């Protein structure tokens, strides 16, 4: 079996920035263990797989360890592949997913915009070991569908954080978002997810489905510039539109090849 593969830097205006994702177009779905083994072999935070239907695409995402319910940067990367390498003229692209419903990606003025469901956050108590693993106590703790969101007062709190990932992997959550007001953006964040095989994700589109409504309530505005302060870094534009979040960014192709199985 031969499978095409692309590697794309998402939420990046040029190569070697943003978050690298693998994208694999498929004619039909192979066994799940094949998908998981490909993602493990790629050893990127996410590998996206899609199958074309008559009018849309079925889309799934895998970390090196597990299948996940939602991934922003790999969806952006998939749209980039369809628009720039596979000749798609449909705009917006429509993706059907197993646990996150219908997602759309629109190309406009050099940006790709994800249309994702907004997360619903509730105040939360810290799970055992989380604060100790992060090494810094937040001012507020919130819990969304899959992730914790921790608010800190200063960008330096986010920049200087050095988690104990071994201990953090025992926290029962897909990931932990830490966020603060930004100096050159409305807010900054980082995303830690060792429980699903990613110590720190470079840029996390899905985390901004939590961050955008959080900051909209806090700042009383709907549109934001955002920076994710990983080593590679990433820039996003976010807009809260009712119960949806529009997340915009750019992407660059790093590699194209073929997997032989």
Q: What are the tokens at 144?
A: 């969304």
Q: Is 156 a catalytic residue?
A: no
- Which one is catalytic: 46, 58, 159, 184? 46
CA angle 86, 71, 105 (to 5 degrees): 45
DSSP code for 85: T
Which residues in the chain belong to E strands, given as ranges? 2-10, 19-26, 47-52, 57-62, 67-68, 93-96, 102-108, 111-117, 122-123, 140-143, 147-151, 175-181, 187-193, 198-201, 223-228, 234-241, 244-249, 251-260
Residue 142: exposure state from Cβ atoms within 10 A (0-12, 13-18, ≥19): buried
User: Catalytic site residues?
Assistant: 46
């Amino acid at each position: 079996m031969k499978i095409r593969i692309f590697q794309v830097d998402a939420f990046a205006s040029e190569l070697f920035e943003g978050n690298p994702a693998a994208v694999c177009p498929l004619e039909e779905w192979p066994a799940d263990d094949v998908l998981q083994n490909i993602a493990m072999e790629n050893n990127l935070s996410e590998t996206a797989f899609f199958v074309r239907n008559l009018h849309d695409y079925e889309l799934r995402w895998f970390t090196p360890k597990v299948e996940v319910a939602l991934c922003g940067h790999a969806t952006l990367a998939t749209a980039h592949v369809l628009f720039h390498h596979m000749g798609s003229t449909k705009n917006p692209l429509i993706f059907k997913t197993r646990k996150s419903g219908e997602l759309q990606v629109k190309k406009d003025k050099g940006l790709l915009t994800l249309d994702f469901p907004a997360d619903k956050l509730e105040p939360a108590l810290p799970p055992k070991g989380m604060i100790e693993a992060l090494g810094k106590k937040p001012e507020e703790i919130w819990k969304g569908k899959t992730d914790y969101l921790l608010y800190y007062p200063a960008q330096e709190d986010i920049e200087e954080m050095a988690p104990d990932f071994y201990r953090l992997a025992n926290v029962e959550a897909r990931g932990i978002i830490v966020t603060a007001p930004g100096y050159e953006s409305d807010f900054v964040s980082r995303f830690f997810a060792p429980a699903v095989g990613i110590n720190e994700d470079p840029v996390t589109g899905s985390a901004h489905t939590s961050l955008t409504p959080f900051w909209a309530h806090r700042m009383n505005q709907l549109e934001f510039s955002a920076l994710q302060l990983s080593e590679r870094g990433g820039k996003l534009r976010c807009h809260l539109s009712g119960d949806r979040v529009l997340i915009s960014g750019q992407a660059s192709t790093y590699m194209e090849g073929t997997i032989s199985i």
